[in-house]
Amino acid sequence: MSEYLLEMNQITKEFPGVKALDNVTLKVKAGSVHALMGENGAGKSTLMKCLFGIYHEDAGEIKIEGKTQKIMSSKQALDLGISMIHQELHPIRFRPVMENIWLGRFPKKGIAIDHKEMARRTEELFKDVDLNIHPETLAGDLSPSSLQLVEIAKAVSYNSKIIIMDEPTSSLTENETKHLFEIIKRLQAKGCAIIYISHKMEEILKISDEVTIMRDGNKIGTWDAKELTTDLIINKMVGRDMTNLFPERHSIPQSENIIEVKDFTASDKKSFKDINFELKRGEILGIGGLVGAQRTELVEAIFGLRSIESGIIVKDGKEINISTPRDAIKHKFALLTEERRATGIFGILSVLDNTVIVDQKKYANNGVLNESKRFNAASKTNEELRTKTPNLDELIQNLSGGNQQKVLLARWLLTEPDVLILDEPTRGIDVGAKYEIYTIMQKLVEQGKSIIMISSEMPELLGMSDRVMVMAEGRVKGILNAEEADSVAVMNLATKFED
């Protein structure tokens, strides 16, 4: 019998215009955590989608417990004991979490669905993974981090031998990540193999037994995790040394304020309250805080996506009214949302359509769309951002996360904004693509544009911000200049739950 629970031998997969996988081999032992690393577009998710039956490999073989399998569907993968926690979550938001978990395998009493039994099984499952969520809570009412934990519980519910975790901690707090690691240890003790995809180096070195690194659809190699360091991983991932994680800054913010937010209070009075801050021209203002600090809710209100009870925005010395996103765009605001799959990209549309969709009138002659204008605008902006795509007709859902993010940036840059609001701009993006996003941000502020950046990654928050505004429980707890902002100062304010 093979020493490996899973063997993927010389897997090849091609899409029009791109070879996504080129003779990739991956071997995983039972009871181990095997990390899969590489830049966005390296082929990690494609390889796992071949294993889970979403894609079908063009060549190569897959063996489970030494037996060759041709996996033609996700259902077949699940029947073989393979489950997958996807990077981008797609819950049925208007249905309870218990229905999301047991979809396609509802317990029945006769021909009717047994809701009481479903609730019991869900409670038992949540107890097993130490998750405090009521089974009948609507999925749409949960935060991204809670949805991620529910998805992890769902994977556990299949009693799988192999569990693929694609960026499982991208929405989790530090405590929730520790909780996940405890679940992983329990699964290992049962003999489960975990294939763990993450761009977080410290997690990989902490949780993994072995690490396989991919680049441009090829396997670079597999190493014992104990042999690796962060610098070694980065070098093997990108094929070059990256001594600086953040680009050098060549400009400083101007003294004048481009906007002032005064006395902002949410209409429900439970979200954010009495928010005051200024944003200077040419500045990156970072917003830090723990999950539940109401950072996203605040910037959505500034952009007109949420109503407020009181407060004003002053831009260039004049009070402006923003009640809708259309108002915000008119006043030259742009918002890159936290969940690019749910509220950013239109997955079934092309890169071209996704780029120019905000202001179609700009590309019309007498009410008729001018395809040449649309193409030229999308082509120019995506070329400037170095978006990797076979062509502009490619569906955006086929691009890597980093390139999807660049298309969204291209979309907003075509509106010629003065203020860009970036909510977790590099979530789920590899170290190389992060650097490219940071470089774009630096160029924008050098041009006199201003950026508000929400980030839950401390190095990013400290490395990119001119000032850091820290929130907790919907209040501003302090604003730190770059020279006084460090992880201790930020966390002291982020955990300051009483005035």
Q: Give per-residue pLDDT as tens, 476-496.
A: 999 999 889 888 888 888 877
Amino acid 167: pLDDT: 80
Per-residue pLDDT of 303-312, as tens digits, reads: 999 999 999 9
- Statement: residue 360 has pLDDT above 80: no
Beta strand segments in 65-177, E: 67-69, 82-85, 108-109, 112-113, 162-166
Of the pLDDT bands very low, low, confident and very high (cuts 50, 70, 90), residue 295 is very high
Taking CA atoms, 92 is separated from 32, 74, 340, in Å, by: 32, 18, 17
Cβ–Cβ < 8 Å for 412, 420: yes
Of the pLDDT bands very low, low, confident and very high (cuts 50, 70, 90), residue 62 is very high
CATH of the structural domain 257-494, one choice from 3.40.1360.10, 2.120.10.30, 3.40.50.800, 3.40.50.300: 3.40.50.300
Amino acid 478: pLDDT: 94
Amino acid 8: pLDDT: 95
Amino acid 497: pLDDT: 62
Domain 6-238 listed as CATH 3.40.50.300:
yes
Most confident of 180-184, 208-212, 244-248: 208-212
- Spatial separation of the C-alpha atoms in residues 486 and 480, rounded to whole Å: 9
Mean pLDDT, residues 462-480 = 93
Amino acid 366: pLDDT: 74
- Statement: residue 182 has pLDDT above 90: no
Of the pLDDT bands very low, low, confident and very high (cuts 50, 70, 90), residue 372 is confident
Cβ–Cβ < 8 Å for 191, 33: no
Q: How many C-beta atoms lie closer than 10 Å to residue 191's C-beta?
A: 12
Of the pLDDT bands very low, low, confident and very high (cuts 50, 70, 90), residue 148 is confident
Mean pLDDT, residues 181-208 = 88
Domain definitions of the chain by residue range: 6-238, 257-494
Sign of the dihedral defined by the CA atoms of residues 36, 40, 41, 47, in that order: positive
Per-residue pLDDT of 72-127, as tens digits, reads: 999 899 999 999 987 666 778 889 899 988 888 888 988 899 899 999 999 988 88
- Statement: residue 197 has pLDDT above 60: yes
Same fold, 6-238 and 257-494: yes
| % the chain with pLDDT above 70 | 95
- Spatial separation of the C-alpha atoms in residues 427 and 175, rounded to whole Å: 18
- Spatial separation of the C-alpha atoms in residues 464 and 282, rounded to whole Å: 13
- Spatial separation of the C-alpha atoms in residues 495 and 487, rounded to whole Å: 12
Per-residue pLDDT of 274-290, as tens digits, reads: 999 999 999 999 999 87
Q: Supply the mean pLDDT for the chain.
A: 87
In this structure, the chain runs to a length of 499
Cβ–Cβ < 8 Å for 123, 135: yes
